[in-house]
């Protein structure tokens, strides 16, 4: 399974927690003190949600922020908090609009610029994301800023620059140990995605040293051990990630590790469980059509349903990740011409993604374009020879066919 979810916004909580003190609300002091307390309680709940994986804390935080907004004139801290909740629910257009409202109230709110960066990335508006991140650098180059710089560099194919920015983010420190642990796990992901297993393992262990049994660290180690063929340790750490935070990403990862270990029936059960979680999230109002489509492909569900989901989400969010999903959905459906068109869109920023190049290569092979097939498959294995046990094996087999043919 590809990495389904990536939130950039989660690192601005440390800034949000203390943003209550940043603006002058001298009028109506008692009322504003009460509003400040509500905002602080909401942000504490959001931090609890981050650390426990319990989404109920987000609902409670949203209720407090809504209550605060009813008893206060527009304040950037409230708008930022509500935007963050929208980001968690994948309501990225709403999050973008709230971030812009926050900026109109306080143009120096680094939290608002960070949220605008995040939402713009998730909506495929990369130019706005870059501009917002540049504004963050002018205002305050801190942990929240450098994590966004790292991700934008990664998207544009500058992996070394992304690693350097993430290291800088770690060096600046955060309001909570968990924030720095998250940075270490993201640094591990950058190393892993470029095939640097030793550095990846070190980063994930650094994350878990800061936060015992940290799910992102455990998930990263599961991927490292799986890449090395150490199935027992991979399964142990994948199970730990699910135990600590039973997200769709972690449940799907457990399925991946089981599949790599040859336990395909158990793997399918995990994918089925992940699919059920996505259905429940969708019923609860979250925009998770992309996750549903990826899992539907994994579970060999109806290609018309998959293609319908992918098309709908691309209309709302024309990102390179969703273009990749739509390309693979067309491939799954047997429409290789449209698959090629969207595979090109998925690589338009120059992102060094082994998974995306693999899919582009298989699409080109199916279409009969052997030159491009070879180029993409060779790129996939050069970027990260460990990107997927099954897909890397298929890439090598297909390349051998191309070479011999």
Q: Is the predicted pLDDT of residue 66 greater than 80, yes or no?
A: no
CB-CB contact of 370 with 403 (8 Å): no
Domain boundaries 9-191+288-404, CATH class: mainly alpha
pLDDT band at residue 111 under the 50/70/90 scheme: very high
pLDDT of res. 181? 96
pLDDT of res. 259? 96
Quote the CA–CA distance of 293 and 275 in Å, as a whole number: 9
pLDDT of res. 10? 43
Counting other chains too, the contacts that 377-386 makes at CB distance below 8 Å and 24 or more residues apart are 377/402, 379/354, 380/354, 380/355, 381/354, 383/193, 383/194, 383/195, 383/352, 383/353, 383/354, 383/357, 384/192, 384/193, 384/194, 384/195, 384/354, 385/195, 386/192, 386/195, 386/197, 386/227
Q: What is the pLDDT of residues 236-272, one digit of tens each?
A: 999 999 999 999 999 999 999 999 999 999 999 999 9
User: And the tokens for 35?
Assistant: 């509003």
Quote the CA–CA distance of 29 and 35 in Å, as a whole number: 10
Q: What is the pLDDT of residues 280-296, one digit of tens each?
A: 999 988 899 999 999 99
pLDDT band at residue 12 under the 50/70/90 scheme: very low
pLDDT band at residue 72 under the 50/70/90 scheme: low
Rounded to an integer, the average pLDDT of 86-106 is 94
Phi-psi region of 391 (alpha: psi -120 to 50; beta: other; left: phi over 0): alpha
Q: Which residue has the higher pLDDT, 194 or 54?
A: 194
**pTM of the entire structure?**
0.89
Phi-psi region of 229 (alpha: psi -120 to 50; beta: other; left: phi over 0): left
Q: Which residue has the higher pLDDT, 175 or 167?
A: 167
pLDDT band at residue 63 under the 50/70/90 scheme: confident
Q: Which residue has the higher pLDDT, 169 or 405?
A: 169
Q: Kindly report the three-state secondary structure assignment for every residue of 181-199.
A: HHHHHHHHHHHHHCCCHHH
Counting other chains too, the contacts that 35-40 makes at CB distance below 8 Å and 24 or more residues apart are 35/68, 35/71, 35/72, 35/75, 35/78, 38/64, 38/65, 38/67, 38/68, 39/64, 39/65, 39/68, 39/75, 39/77, 39/78, 39/81
User: And the tokens for 262?
Assistant: 């040859």
pLDDT band at residue 53 under the 50/70/90 scheme: low
pLDDT of res. 27? 46
pLDDT band at residue 23 under the 50/70/90 scheme: very low
pLDDT of res. 15? 46
User: And the tokens for 65?
Assistant: 């922020």
Among residues of the chain, what percentage have pLDDT more than 90? 75
Kindly list the domain boundaries of the chain, sorted by start residue.
9-191+288-404
pLDDT of res. 17? 43
Cα dihedral 208, 181, 17, 281 in deg (nearest 10): -80
Rounded to an integer, the average pLDDT of 122-149 is 97
DSSP letter for each residue of 318-380: --HHHHHHHHHHHHHHT-HHHHHHHHHHHTTT----HHHHHHHHHHHHHHT-HHHHHHHHHHH
Q: Which residue bears the tokens 């579970």?
A: 299
Q: Is the predicted pLDDT of residue 26 greater than 70, yes or no?
A: no
* Mean pLDDT score of the chain: 90
CB-CB contact of 80 with 54 (8 Å): no
CB-CB contact of 145 with 137 (8 Å): yes
Least confident piece of the model among 6-15, 267-276, 324-333: 6-15
In terms of DSSP H, where are the helices of 261-302? Answer: 264-283, 289-298
Q: Is the predicted pLDDT of residue 9 greater than 90, yes or no?
A: no
In total, the chain counts a number of residues equal to 405
Q: Which residue has the higher pLDDT, 147 or 54?
A: 147
Q: How far apart are the first and last CA of the chain?
A: 30
Q: Is the predicted pLDDT of residue 28 greater than 50, yes or no?
A: no
């Amino acid at each position: 399974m590809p990495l389904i979810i990536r939130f950039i916004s989660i690192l601005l909580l440390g800034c949000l927690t203390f943003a209550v003190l940043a603006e002058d609300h001298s009028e109506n002091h008692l009322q504003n003190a009460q509003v400040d307390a509500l905002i602080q309680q909401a942000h504490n709940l959001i931090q609890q949600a981050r650390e426990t994986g319990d989404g109920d804390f987000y609902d409670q935080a949203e209720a407090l922020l809504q209550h605060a907004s009813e008893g206060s004139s527009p304040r950037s801290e409230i708008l930022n908090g509500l935007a963050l909740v929208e980001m968690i629910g994948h309501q990225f257009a709403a999050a973008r609009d709230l971030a812009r409202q926050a900026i109109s109230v306080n143009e120096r709110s680094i939290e608002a610029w960070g949220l605008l960066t995040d939402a713009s990335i998730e909506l495929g508006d990369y130019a706005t994301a870059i501009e917002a991140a540049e504004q963050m650098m002018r205002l305050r180059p801190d942990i929240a800023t450098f994590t966004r710089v790292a991700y934008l560099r990664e998207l544009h194919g500058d992996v070394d620059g992304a690693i350097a920015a993430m290291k800088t983010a770690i060096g600046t420190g955060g309001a909570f140990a968990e924030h720095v642990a998250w940075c270490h796990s993201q640094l591990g992901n950058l190393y892993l995605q470029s095939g640097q297993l030793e550095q990846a393992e070190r980063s994930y262990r650094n994350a878990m040293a800061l936060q015992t049994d940290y799910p992102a660290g455990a998930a990263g180690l599961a991927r490292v051990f799986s890449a090395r063929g150490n199935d027992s340790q991979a399964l142990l750490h994948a199970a730990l990630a699910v135990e600590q935070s039973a997200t769709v990403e972690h449940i799907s990862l457990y399925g991946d590790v089981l599949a790599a270990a040859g336990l395909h029936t158990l793997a399918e059960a995990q994918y089925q469980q992940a699919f059920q979680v996505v259905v429940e999230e969708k019923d609860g109002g979250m925009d998770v059509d992309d996750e549903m489509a990826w899992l539907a492909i994994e579970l060999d569900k109806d290609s018309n349903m998959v293609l319908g989901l992918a098309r709908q989400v691309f209309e709302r969010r024309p990102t390179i990740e969703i273009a990749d999903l739509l390309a693979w959905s067309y491939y799954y459906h047997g429409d290789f011409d449209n698959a090629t068109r969207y595979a090109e869109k998925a690589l338009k920023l120059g992102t060094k993604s082994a998974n995306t190049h693999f899919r582009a290569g298989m699409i080109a092979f199916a279409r009969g374009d052997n030159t491009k097939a070879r180029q993409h498959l060779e790129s996939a294995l050069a970027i990260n020879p460990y990107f997927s046990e099954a897909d890397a094996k298929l890439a090598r087999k297909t390349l051998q066919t191309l070479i011999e043919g």
